[in-house]
Amino acid sequence: MVLPDLPDAEIGNVRLRFAPEPSGYLHIGHAKAALLNQYFADRYQGQVIIRFDDTNPTKESNEFVDNLVKDIGTLGIKYETITYTSDYFPELMELAEKLISQGKAYVDDTPGEQMKAERKDGIESKCRNQSVEENLKLWKEMIAGSERGLQCCVRGKLDMQDPNKSLRDPVYYRCNPMPHHRIGSKYKVYPTYDFACPYVDSMEGITHALRSSEYHDRNAQYYRIQEDMGVEKVLIYEFSRLNMVYTVLSKRELLKVVQNGTVESWDDPRFPTLQGIMRRGLKIEALIQFIYDQGASKNLNLMEWDKLWTINKKIIDPVCPRHTAVIADRRVLLTLTDGPEKSSVRIIPRHKKYEAAGNKATTYAKRIWIDYADAKSISTGEEVTLMDWGNAIVKEVEKDQDGNVIGLSGVLHLEGSVKTTKLKLTWLPELDELVSLTLMEFDYLITKKKLEEGEDIIDWLNPCTKKETLAYGDANMRNLQRGEVLQLERKGYFRCDVPFIRPSKPIVLFAIPDGRQQKSFK
């Protein structure tokens, strides 16, 4: 991948930051930002720092910090240090007071909805021209978190007539009596991201601030705030936000789905979080390739998941072991009248073209299970191929009164050609050693390709996003480890989420999409 140059970048003198807010787990959109920072740091022999933008105690927690650190490690981001915006709270408060004293900021008690409407219409607040003394007095009330202080916020005095609405006196500071996850109840006032970020970027020596183009209108605000603060200017470099079909990347919306119990947690395999998609079977190399393939394009594209899963399939298919499963529901016994009287075992490779996948033991028996879907398509007298064994000729098809196949019998025809048969059957011996499996398939969480601004995720939740199928697997699957990826012959790719514990508890396998258009299930 070759991306455009960073403007005014010098080799050895580039310092970047990835600055997530600890209000959720890292998702596929953040992964793009993190990987682009890493790419440019490598290209210019520069540095990346991780900064937790922890300015809103209502939404943030240590759980989110810990998991973001874990996910950044999973992505392979080589960062120089971890910092926190909260490290700069004392300086930011001094700066806010200084701007108030200089007449570049004021304290406003206009109610939220009214303020929003006035900003939209370019109407100046009644507080905009109050005296510096009055502003400082109200600022002290805010710092104390008093009843009066809680009614107020600090706003920058920029330009209420500017056609760019982000410059219409943005909010710099808010009162919040909630304790902060890192520093407890020390403060009752917190800076907004818009106020803190330009300052901290400059103080930390960031040369280029990478951010997605959805913030384009706020670039002028960022530069203007740095100018008013009298700090070194940082260059903004824009890239397009990653949008995926049938996917919501707003942490606020995702939190609702966690809270209402639709998903188990932030690492649910239906979630676009890094932990969620990896739990579903995505390899990190596939994600990195997918994101680098797009580059730092400014075009806002709605990306298909199929493309990502196709890349993933190319990575897992050449190396993942093969196993066999038969769907439990209405499975059918095929009796081979000339089959082995005593079952015999052969050791065969788990992957015919990849030796490192190791071997598995396959048991050959007189009575074998096959899937009902296969059994019902077999005609009397038909020659079929039993995979990893050879051909057989089905002599009898037994049906119940409703016409359902309930049994088959036949004879082996091992000298027969595999090329001449229409059906290649997966099968398992009728033995107690088979393991119970729960095969899990997942669908998109929402029914709409793209949620519009202001639409609530709860209104668009897909009523059926999970399908469980009971099956039996070959005895070798007792050795599967959690996280191991395998292919069930003729059934697709799976990731082991719950390995074998005891015979009464099924192994849980998550179906991994393979890039073909997924069909929804009801």
Strand-pair category, 47-52 with 15-18? parallel
Residue with tokens 């196709």: 310
Q: What is the pLDDT along the chain (522 residues), one digit of tens a residue?
A: 667 889 999 999 999 999 999 999 999 999 999 999 999 999 999 999 999 999 999 999 999 999 999 999 999 999 999 999 999 999 999 999 999 999 999 999 999 999 999 999 999 999 999 999 999 999 999 999 999 999 999 999 999 999 999 999 999 999 999 999 999 999 999 999 999 999 999 999 999 999 988 889 999 999 999 999 999 999 999 988 899 999 999 999 999 999 999 999 999 999 999 999 999 999 999 999 999 888 766 666 789 999 999 999 999 999 999 999 999 999 999 999 999 999 999 999 999 999 999 999 999 999 999 999 999 999 999 999 999 999 999 999 999 999 999 999 999 999 999 999 999 999 999 999 999 999 999 999 999 999 998 899 999 999 999 999 999 999 999 999 999 999 999 999 999 999 999 999 999 999 999 988 666 666
CA distances in angstroms from 56 to 86, 246, 357, 435, listed in the order given: 10, 29, 48, 49
Q: What is the pLDDT of residue 1?
A: 60
Neighbours of 179 (CB within 10 A): 12
At residue 276, the pLDDT reads 98
* pTM of full prediction above 0.75: yes
Beta bridge partner(s), residue 188: none
**SS3 of residue 311 by DSSP:** helix
Of 400, 405, 350, give the one whose Cα is nearest residue 380. Answer: 405
Q: What is the pLDDT of residue 522?
A: 60
For residue 502, the one-letter residue type is: R
Decide: 332 and 406 in contact? Cβ < 8 Å: yes
For residue 189, CA distances in Å to 140, 144, 151, 228 come to: 10, 8, 12, 21
Strands 435-442 and 466-473: antiparallel
Q: If we measure between CA atoms, which residue out of 239, 237, 240, 256 comes closest to residue 248? A: 256
Three-state SS for 370? strand
* Partners of residue 495 on adjacent β-strands: 485, 510
Count of positions (residues) in the chain: 522
Can you say whether residue 404 is alpha, beta or left, with left for phi > 0 and alpha for psi between -120 and 50 degrees? Answer: beta
Task: Classify residue 54 as exposed, middle or buried by CB count within 10 Å of its CB (0-12, 13-18, 19+).
Answer: buried
Are the C-beta atoms of residues 172 and 156 closer than 8 Å to each other? yes
**Residue 205 DSSP code:** T
Cα 161 from chain centre? 40
What pLDDT is stored for residue 127 in this prediction? 98
The DSSP annotation for 251-305 comes to HHHHHHHHHTTSSSSTT-TTS-BHHHHHHTT--HHHHHHHHHHHTT-----EE-H
